[in-house]
């Protein structure tokens, strides 16, 4: 949906693809540009109304059947669930992978539609509500170019680290697909933690390991990093895009917290990263009144050679 690109950008993109470029369509990128016929050809199938092209269904034996425009529904999906992915064929992206594996929290697109020409379905699964089979990954030949399209990789608001991006299966497929799109040999080996039939495999989120005296990492966190203050101190504690600095043998956290209709920029320091939530908080500045709605997170770094800090 949304506005299309300017004509010059569309033409340049079409030349890039047909002259041999590679395009990775990540999840809802196949929802876009419903008024751009060349884009429809490149993606093969996308989120479209029931009259906007063919749909491909998958029978239990893995064979495909074409659903004409106007027959069946428009594209939709049910609740996100863990689904068993079934591999089709022996495409280089899938070489060495198991024939089936479990993926977490995926949206199964039913009746994805488009020209469905020059298209090869790589994998499929069943819709949790109807039990019918639908493509999950497919590739399209577009002139000299290549396109990889899938419904993996769902991201939504308030989900900073969604499970299907942490999936060992998705991460492996993404790198392998990019190698294939670049017309390079697919060299990424099948990792030991690639999921099997029974359960998905989620990779942990690593903590930053930073050298002493340099910045310098900015990260988003899922849960509050600060312990609650005295009663009534904060009606909500929202730590906004904090800056974490490692300098002088200590960890330093600069943050913005909201409470009582104001934004307070604060600072905590500790020798160990895990001690930051229990460290004493120091208020740097408070923004009150109407301006408080524009409170923002500080960006901080330390330039070690001169011992200078920048806020």
Same domain, 64 and 153: yes
3-state secondary structure of 100: strand
Higher pLDDT, 186 or 226: 186
Q: How is 111-154 classified by DSSP, letter by letter?
A: S-EE---SEEEEEEEE-TTT--EEEEEEEEEETTEEEEEES---
Q: Which domain holds residue 224?
A: 214-310
Same domain, 36 and 177: yes
The answer to whether position 1 is within a domain reads no
Percentage above 90 pLDDT, the chain: 59
The answer to whether position 249 is within a domain reads yes
The answer to whether position 204 is within a domain reads no
pLDDT for the residue numbered 239: 54
Same domain, 163 and 235: no
Q: What is the pLDDT of residues 11-58, one digit of tens each?
A: 999 999 999 999 999 999 999 999 999 999 999 999 999 999 999 999
Q: What is the reported pTM?
A: 0.67
Same domain, 248 and 138: no
Same domain, 153 and 219: no
pLDDT for the residue numbered 15: 97
Domain count, the chain: 2
Same domain, 110 and 233: no
Same domain, 17 and 74: yes
The answer to whether position 127 is within a domain reads yes
The answer to whether position 128 is within a domain reads yes
The answer to whether position 15 is within a domain reads yes
Least confident of 41-55, 275-289, 295-309: 295-309
Domain boundary among 181, 198, 224: 181
Q: What is the pLDDT of residues 113-163, one digit of tens each?
A: 999 999 999 999 999 999 999 999 999 999 999 999 999 988 877 777 889
Same domain, 15 and 129: yes
Average pLDDT of the chain, as a whole number = 83
Same domain, 54 and 158: yes
Same domain, 142 and 234: no
Same domain, 172 and 298: no
Least confident of 34-38, 222-226, 285-289, 300-304: 222-226
Query: In the structure encoding, which two tokens stand for residue 200, read together?
Result: 């998905």
The answer to whether position 194 is within a domain reads no
Q: What is the pLDDT of residues 228-238, one digit of tens each?
A: 444 444 434 45
Same domain, 26 and 170: yes
3-state secondary structure of 173: helix
Query: DSSP alpha helices (H): ranges in the chain?
Result: 7-18, 37-43, 163-166, 168-181
Domain boundary among 181, 200, 224: 181
Query: In the structure encoding, which two tokens stand for residue 214, read together?
Result: 């340099």
Question: What is the rounded CA–CA span in Å between residue 17 and residue 146?
Answer: 7
CATH code of 81's domain:
3.40.50.880
Domain boundary among 162, 181, 200: 181
Q: What is the pLDDT of residues 246-274, one digit of tens each?
A: 777 888 887 777 666 666 777 788 888 87
The answer to whether position 196 is within a domain reads no
């Amino acid at each position: 949906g949304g506005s299309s690109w300017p004509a010059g950008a569309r033409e340049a993109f079409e030349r890039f693809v047909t002259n041999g470029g590679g395009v990775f369509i990540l999840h809802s990128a196949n929802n876009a540009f419903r008024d751009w016929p060349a884009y429809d050809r490149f993606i093969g199938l996308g989120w479209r109304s029931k009259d906007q092209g063919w749909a491909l269904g998958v029978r239990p034996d893995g064979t495909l059947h074409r659903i004409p425009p106007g027959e069946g529904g428009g594209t939709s999906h049910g609740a996100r669930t863990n689904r068993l992915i079934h591999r089709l064929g022996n495409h280089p992206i899938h070489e060495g992978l198991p024939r089936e594996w479990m993926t977490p929290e995926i949206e199964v697109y039913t009746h994805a539609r488009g020209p469905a020409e020059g298209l090869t379905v790589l994998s499929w699964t069943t819709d949790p509500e109807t039990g019918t089979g639908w493509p999950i990954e497919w590739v399209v030949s577009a002139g000299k170019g290549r396109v990889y399209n899938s419904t993996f990789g769902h991201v939504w608001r308030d989900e900073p680290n969604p499970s299907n991006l942490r999936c060992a299966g998705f991460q492996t497929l993404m790198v392998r697909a990019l190698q294939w799109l670049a017309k390079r040999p697919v060299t990424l080996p099948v990792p030991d933690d690639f999921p099997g039939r029974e359960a998905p495999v989620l990779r942990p989120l690593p903590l930053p390991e930073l050298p002493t005296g340099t910045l310098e990492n900015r990260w988003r966190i899922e849960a509050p990093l600060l312990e609650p203050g005295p009663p009534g101190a904060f009606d909500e504690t929202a730590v906004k895009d904090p800056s974490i600095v490692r300098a002088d043998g200590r960890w330093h956290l600069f943050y913005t917290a909201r409470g009582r209709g104001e934004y307070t920029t604060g600072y905590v320091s500790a020798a160990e990263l895990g001690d930051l939530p229990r460290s004493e908080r120091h208020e740097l500045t408070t923004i009150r009144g109407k301006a408080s709605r524009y409170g923002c997170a500080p960006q901080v770094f330390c330039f070690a050679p001169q011992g200078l800090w920048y806020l």
